[in-house]
Amino acid sequence: MTESPSAPVAMRPLALAGGQPRYLQLAQTLLNEIEGGKYPVGSQLPTEFALCEQFGVSRATAREAVKRLVQMGLVVRQPRVGTTVRARSASTGYRQSTTEVGDLLQYAADTTLRIESRETREIDAAQAEMLEASPGETWLHLKGRRHAPGQPQPICTTELWLHPAFRSIRGLEGALTSAVHSAIEQQFGEVITEVEQEIRAVALGRADAQALDAPAKSPALWVCRKYRNRLGQLVELAISTHPADRFSYSTVLRREWGAGGR
């Protein structure tokens, strides 16, 4: 995220964590100060304008940093009141906020997917229907569990299917902190232009419950994402199953000015 050209150079802090986005740096600083007692529960955080002056950042950067604290359950924003500290430590669970495809990259960066199995599978008729493919094709199949910082238990199990054209992809072993579809784009020159997402409320199956150390048949969120290229072809399918108390999902829908008055 770029800074305002008018921001004084002397006020700009050094880049941390190898080019981590500035709003995340600012959010981490504010989180540390809340946990350290500088801003007690019930007190007000500085206004966005004050944060811009203190840290030499743009208004957009300050707004995104505060938004991240809201998502973590640390603060609440109220019109004409300001931003009030509501907790000294982040609430349990991981909340994903999505407004565009690029936010999925941030989700991957904020969490860690540990790949636990990788194999090339010849798909059957049922799998072919799910993957919009033909029986007998050989897709790359990956399974693992995703973890969020500060959470001892995994937030979900994840199952990935990659199109045969990308089954030789490198680097998808162990702990991943970047999106799989990003690796496809980098290694094969493919471009993901669309992601279809389906979300269902389900009861946690026995295998997932055991992998997640959660009660079997307890409420869970099932999320299926289909990553497509410019031609609408399925490049990657990802299915994640989250225990209800470890994950929430928020979406912002924006209406274009002047569109559809009826």
What digits encode the pLDDT tens for the residues 65-121? 898 888 777 888 888 889 999 888 765 554 554 555 455 545 556 789 999 999 999
For residue 9, what pLDDT is reported? 31
SS3 string, 116-139, reads: EEEEEEECCHHHHHHHCCCCCCEE
* In the chain, ranges of CATH 3.40.1410.10 domains: 94-250
Q: What is the pLDDT of residues 163-215, one digit of tens each?
A: 999 999 999 999 998 889 999 999 999 988 888 989 999 999 999 999 999 99
Q: Please give the model's pTM, rounded to 2 decimal places.
A: 0.60
Rounded to whole angstroms, the Cα distance separating 22 from 63 reads 11
pLDDT at position 111, please? 84
Q: Is 94-250 assigned to CATH 3.40.1410.10? A: yes
Q: Look at residue 1 and tell me whether its pLDDT is greater than 80.
A: no
Query: Does the structural domain 9-85 have CATH classification 3.30.70.270?
Result: no
Q: What is the chain's length?
A: 262
Q: Are 101 and 195 in contact (CB under 8 A)?
A: yes
What residues contact 65, with CB distance under 8 A and at least 6 apart? Answer: 23, 24, 26, 27, 30, 51, 57
Can you give the pLDDT at residue 233? 92
**Beta carbons of 192 and 167 less than 8 angstroms apart:** no
Domain with CATH 1.10.10.10 in the chain: 9-85
